[in-house]
Structure 1
Amino acid sequence: MYPSVPVTVASLVDDLRGLGVRAGSTLLLHSSLKGIGFVVGGPQAVVHALLDALGPDGTLVVPTHTPDNTDPAGWQHPPVPESWWAPIRSSAPGFDPALTPSRWMGVLAETVRTWPGAVRSAHPCVSFAALGRHAEEITAGHRVDDALGETSPLGAVYRLDGSVLLLGCGHDSNTSLHLAEWRQPDPPRGHRGAAVRRPDGSAEWVTWVDVLENEEVFADLGADLEATGAVTVGRVGLATARLMSQRVAVDFATRWIASHQR
């Protein structure tokens, strides 16, 4: 059954402002378009609404991760034969911030990535794209061996006292909680690999060591975070939306992970 009226840019702006999205703020968005309902203008309209709610001094950030540009030895959904690993490593075209599409991040993230004026960080596996006042600051200097740590866009959003909006998705998609893993005193680390594109257009397979993330605990972590009252839950369109201070969420998660690891 359809709602009495369709979702529009104007109604989405009203919903976002009612939820607490502030003009001039930095907003890290995780989203699922289908939960919002029928939107006049589709994903383009949703991005327009987000930018209108943030205003000319705001900044919109989205994950534009590329999990298919990782070491095939670790692929599970689905795995590939071991005989394929070497050809994949040697034949991958290499991550290019301007060309490589994200995967499994949703159509809204891809719409932001390709929006005029968007900039993207250079990490070959877990890049982020941003639009607005602080876009360059947020996406610059994303070190390959600090994927979701202090030098990543997550660390930049934290320093800017930004917010996280989970639009039609849950805390299992809340990438900011990974920053809490990177802040642990001695987090588990492991080898990573990806193809990167050289300036001359050729590709190179690179390896490095970084923190091993574990989002399997994020649903429980997020439920405990919500129990503190730190998350505003409401509706944007037909979707359940969760808005929170990223600093509050990361600080809580840092303590939560430390206590549960013990």
Structure 2
Amino acid sequence: MCAVTHPLLLGGDRAATQLCELGVQRGGVLLVHASMRAAGASAWCMTEALRRALGPEGTLVVPAFTPENSDTSRSYLERVRGLSEKARAAMRAAMPAFDPAMSPAPGMGALAETVRQTPGAMRSGHPQTSFAALGPAAGKLLTGHRRDCHLGEDSPLARLYETDAQVLLLGTDFDSCTAFHLAEYRRSSPPRRLYRCVVASEDGPHWWEYEDITLDDSDFGTLGNDFARARSLEVRTGHVGSAPSRLFPLRAAVDFAGGWLRAHRTEG
């Protein structure tokens, strides 16, 4: 419990109260996408606030994605744009293999990194789209994340759907709403592509290529805004710290996204 004598911890008490008022379910499961800059709080303090709002029976989940070890990821392609073939080869050679215990997820933000590194946290085993979690349901949610299934039925997203988890966008927009990707997998014939990344093995790091669906978040902002308008009673809004935030049921978001994608995207 945060002591009220410390100003940063006092902010955590305020954030925990805001989270409860927003509707975070005590004892529930919560998937969080967060911007600590928008919240005006430390990641450690916000992690404690989230855990207090959820209570000891609740489970906190964050994305811990690692596009840094792939030469097919958007971030890699942006980094090597304009580089020579020699420079690209040097960058590929320096990529470390994914290690669930050690690989950082810098692109996921300070809160996700704090949760990932908190003693007792668990992490799923996908070398590109792992999730980290704290709480009694972490093992059930993260176990069985198949390496050739980024965000589909054999990923933590499907387990979150089954547990009727909530999603919190804390200072972030719908374009970062990972849950919508599960609806992409549930289309009748989603387009597919090849992915490559560095993975560990008994013989050392090696490149692994696999096929999965083509993930596309380019229209998630529009999708999310339509979801918020259509399901306004289920999308709760308020501030956490100083960040405008949205809280909603993951299952409702995925179900809405399924219909929206059928109406707005051409099948594979």
Asked if 1:237 is matched to 2:238, the reply is no
1:72-87 correspondence runs (5 A): 72=72, 75-80=76-81, 81=83, 82-87=85-90
Q: Which of 186, 189, 192 is the equivalent residue of 1:186?
A: 189
> What code does the residue aligned with 2:224 have?
G
* TM-score, with length taken from structure 2: 0.90
CA contact (8 A) 1:73 1:85 kept: no
- Structure 1: segments with no counterpart, 5+ residues: none
Give % identity: 43
CA contact (8 A) 1:92 1:203 kept: no
Task: State the distance in 1 between where 2:155 and 2:106 align.
Answer: 19
Q: Which of 34, 39, 43 is the equivalent residue of 1:36?
A: 39
* Aligned-residue offset at 1:89: 4.2
Q: Which of 130, 142, 147 is the equivalent residue of 1:144?
A: 147
Secondary structure at the aligned position of 1:209 is classed as strand
* Aligned-residue offset at 1:88: 4.2
> What code does the residue aligned with 1:19 have?
L
1:12-161 correspondence runs (5 A): 12-37=15-40, 39=41, 42-72=42-72, 75-80=76-81, 81=83, 82-161=85-164
Secondary structure at the aligned position of 2:108 is classed as coil
Q: Hey, what does 1:208 align to over in structure 2?
A: 210
CA contact (8 A) 1:72 1:85 kept: no
Asked if 1:224 is matched to 2:243, the reply is no
Q: Hey, what does 2:256 align to over in structure 1?
A: 252
> What code does the residue aligned with 1:210 have?
D
CA contact (8 A) 2:127 2:147 kept: yes
* Aligned-residue offset at 1:156: 0.9
> What code does the residue aligned with 1:145 have?
D
* Aligned-residue offset at 1:77: 2.2
CA contact (8 A) 1:33 1:43 kept: yes
Runs of 4+ in 1 over 2 A off after TM superposition: 72-93
Deviation per residue, 1:152-208 (Å, 9 max, x gap): 1111100111010000000011001111111111101000010011246x2111000
**Backbone CA RMSD of aligned residues:** 1.7
> What code does the residue aligned with 1:256 have?
W
Distance 1:113 1:199, change over 3 A: farther
Task: State the distance in 2 between where 1:88 and 1:239 align.
Answer: 36
Task: State the distance in 2 between where 1:85 and 1:146 align.
Answer: 27
* Aligned-residue offset at 1:72: 4.9
Secondary structure at the aligned position of 2:21 is classed as helix
Secondary structure at the aligned position of 1:180 is classed as helix
Secondary structure at the aligned position of 2:80 is classed as coil
Task: State the distance in 2 between where 1:33 and 1:73 align.
Answer: 25
* TM-score, with length taken from structure 1: 0.92
Task: State the distance in 1 between where 2:72 and 2:256 align.
Answer: 34
1:158-169 correspondence runs (5 A): 158-169=161-172
* Aligned-residue offset at 1:83: 3.6
Task: State the distance in 2 between where 1:217 and 1:207 align.
Answer: 27
Secondary structure at the aligned position of 2:106 is classed as coil
CA contact (8 A) 1:89 1:195 kept: no
> What code does the residue aligned with 1:71 have?
D
Task: State the distance in 1 between where 2:127 and 2:148 align.
Answer: 11
CA contact (8 A) 2:72 2:195 kept: no
Secondary structure at the aligned position of 1:11 is classed as helix
- Structure 2: segments with no counterpart, 5+ residues: 1-6
Task: State the distance in 2 between where 1:144 and 1:190 align.
Answer: 15
* Aligned-residue offset at 1:76: 3.1
